[in-house]
Structure 1
């Protein structure tokens, strides 16, 4: 016979064990990833034109990073860095991989334009921890089957392999085969409805089916990348805007609505308290093609001014991250992979040659210091380094520029002539980093003259 006291003790131990198990449960992870959004084109970033109530609410429930950077100012390289946690130049992914456009200028054929198979992706790492993984939307990391999401760590896929496509269904095959809508591997069929909504619905379906095990959803919207195609009913909500700006507002509204549907589903299923949600963007907004606004930052997509490489960035993890908070030190999208992996129970020793860091100790005030003292960018001979508050930009056709980002975040005053020793020191540090990189696997000769490539090799061979 068991005594009353022993039964009570057993029940207490069972309760404690259940609470420990609950506390150690792996969090779900949802990455909401926009394309070509302007730094200032969201309500939580101060926009008075754009309507983004769902993302604004997300910002109020977590942390907003004020100095979040991407590893490149264009789509493909930025995504390659994010999904590997490594500077993409370390494996030669320096330029956009657009085979139909590049083959005439580069020495590389389309089938080889992707993340090398030797690189582990975010999907690979999380699958190793038992996560169900899915990728929806724009891939842009290799067009042939060997680079396909299902061969790079993801269980499910609905999207397109290329870099841009229509939002409404194609009546005929698109001109670029890589932009056909594909379910999993090789099953091509156009969708019904507006693509931004379709991608969110697919993510919701996956979440519902995988709710009883840890899951990772990479929801890679093509919004708000060109072509400029918004639903008329969305544009009608912006009577005071015209032209591309009106179309962008409609597309941004649909992006926010789609994100809201995913967030609502997490709450409905009771998963929101144990789900890490990230919202960010792949590069600065193009102020010409889609009328994005990056103000008060200087620059635009494709350059290394702050407006080309600094992006909106939100993170929510209830109980781990303080609501309505901000984090002001520089971080990078390279940090997402190690952050997710460590949150899922991964060990440091399993992360191989990673350039990113786990952000959770920093935003939860468990670690002093800052995640990155130095960050780098490179495209051809063009190179940039941010070291502390100092930022040096190197060009092939004009003198370098030097800015103090703390005092001049809008990069209005070039200080290079006043601080020659600082310029020299940052040049040396940038060169030292470049010596650790691979030669670009493909490069647009139209953009970069042979003299620049020879100069790159000269530095690398010193």
Structure 2
């Protein structure tokens, strides 16, 4: 895997933005915020790496609509997901708590079968006692809708979307079933919608398109009131599968990887097991193209309705790139200059793209290196809505940075992550320093130390040279982890 230094990478980002659109005018930068609270559209890609879109350096294919979103807004270089896998990362987004405090800390499901799919749909549920970000926005007068992959509680649990602040939901409640793009059903609130177009292995109804169309209907239906639209798309998570017409754009134009042999029949078929893919590179590029086209259509919709100037559009990803189902982050250089992929707490597993567009408020063609993380969004959105900051949160509002008032921006003394899969991991970023601890369940207490200002790719462990820094990071790693009886992390919970 190739790496480029951070200075070169930053210059590439600036070049990409300038190629998309000329610099904003001073009038755009100085336009005051409008009186009504803004609409918020939050687009969450799934397993999209830091380098998987062209304004962040992708060279194998282009993402023109996402690039245009960046050209019309602000691109962040130092933004982090909640952790390195789906459910806990999304839990930090919804609750405003990092993974040392949040109630859900891994991808644990309620039930499973020998075939790898869930007999009982859904992952470990968020509790009613948790006040989520959409619940706070709901109380502030926002219409709220979620369209896509949930993964924070299945049907008939306290964690299902309608119990966690969403007026409307359409999509997958179970993230395991979201592995399959031609499913036998989706959920419309509490109603199970059977997709007979996909019966008997047919490819009739592509779920990302179904969910996208419902999201567009939500925008049109709520255009006259403030709304929060959450779009947790499953794209481009494995399985690698896109409609034939989207595949055709890339077939023969990319060097192909090894065909992936998955599950194409039997009890696990379209029940969470990944299907086969003869052309995984073309499929992955096609899936990102579908996502990019959908971002473009969302931008077009809000602008055509005349609500673009009072709509904040955010685009990001839930963790780093995957290798499942034929995924090939090395071929696509999906983590760019970063080390690690999904399930790693190195930068490539948790540092993700973040783009924000809010015309007249957020400066167009701008790039920002403010360190931030998923748990900051709850504080940010409540500030936008003009309501009190959430209690028991770990986040800091990013609104000053967004509005170009960086002298007013509070900053985290450190950012913290933990990952409960495999043998347990922790990570902390404190300024330029990054500490990583692995194999916690094996009793390992050693911390790797990296200087991100000189070594963005985390290639050289300098722990031996800075024992006092290591000691400080060790104290943070121990202090930020709170014991959760359901999700334990080795000696840290003894």
TM tier, smaller: 0.7 to 0.9
Aligned in 2, Cα 1:133/1:46: closer, same or farther, shift over 3 Å?
Answer: same
Superposition deviation, residue 438 in structure 1? 3.4
Find out whether 1:291 has 2:328 as its counterpart: yes
* Structure 2, unpaired ranges of 5+: 1-31, 115-119, 198-203, 257-278
Indicate the SS of the match to 1:417: helix
Superposition deviation, residue 347 in structure 1? 2.6
> Equivalent of 1:390, from 430, 433, 457?
433
> Equivalent of 2:396, from 348, 357, 364?
357
- CA distances 1:225-253 after superposition (whole Å, capped 9, x unpaired): 11110122212222321232211000000
For 1:176, the equivalent position in structure 2 comes to none
Q: CA RMSD in A?
A: 2.4
For 2:4, the equivalent position in structure 1 comes to none
For 1:379, the equivalent position in structure 2 comes to 419
Within 5 A, what are the aligned runs for 1:111-260? 113-145=124-156, 146-164=158-176, 165=178, 168-170=181-183, 173=184, 180-190=185-195, 193-238=205-250, 239-241=252-254, 242=256, 243-260=279-296
Find out whether 1:36 has 2:47 as its counterpart: yes
Q: Distance in 1 between matches of 2:437 and 2:84?
A: 15
> Equivalent of 1:324, from 343, 365, 382?
365
For 1:80, the equivalent position in structure 2 comes to 91
For 2:458, the equivalent position in structure 1 comes to 411
Indicate the SS of the match to 2:464: coil
- CA distances 1:391-428 after superposition (whole Å, capped 9, x unpaired): 11112355321001111111011101111221112101
Indicate the SS of the match to 1:427: helix
Identify the range of structure 1 (389-398 vs 258-267) with the bigger mean alpha-carbon deviation.
Answer: 389-398
For 1:5, the equivalent position in structure 2 comes to none
Q: Distance in 1 between matches of 2:324 and 2:150?
A: 24
Aligned in 2, Cα 1:433/1:256: closer, same or farther, shift over 3 Å?
Answer: same
Contact 1:97 1:114 in 2 (8 A): no
Find out whether 1:263 has 2:299 as its counterpart: yes
Q: Which runs of 4+ in 1 moved over 3 A?
A: 100-103, 109-112, 166-170
Contact 1:70 1:310 in 2 (8 A): yes
Within 5 A, what are the aligned runs for 1:57-72? 57-72=68-83
Q: TM-score, normalised by structure 1?
A: 0.84
Contact 2:181 2:208 in 1 (8 A): no
Superposition deviation, residue 370 in structure 1? 5.3
Contact 2:142 2:228 in 1 (8 A): yes
Aligned in 2, Cα 1:329/1:260: closer, same or farther, shift over 3 Å?
Answer: same
Superposition deviation, residue 46 in structure 1? 1.4
- CA distances 1:126-185 after superposition (whole Å, capped 9, x unpaired): 101101100101000012422111111100110111114355434xx5xxxxxx411111
- CA distances 1:255-274 after superposition (whole Å, capped 9, x unpaired): 11111111110011001100
Indicate the SS of the match to 2:42: strand
Q: TM-score, normalised by structure 2?
A: 0.79
Aligned in 2, Cα 1:98/1:231: closer, same or farther, shift over 3 Å?
Answer: same
Indicate the SS of the match to 2:300: helix
Superposition deviation, residue 186 in structure 1? 2.8
Q: Distance in 1 between matches of 2:365 and 2:285?
A: 25
Contact 2:99 2:416 in 1 (8 A): no
Aligned residues: 414
For 2:376, the equivalent position in structure 1 comes to 335
Indicate the SS of the match to 2:375: helix
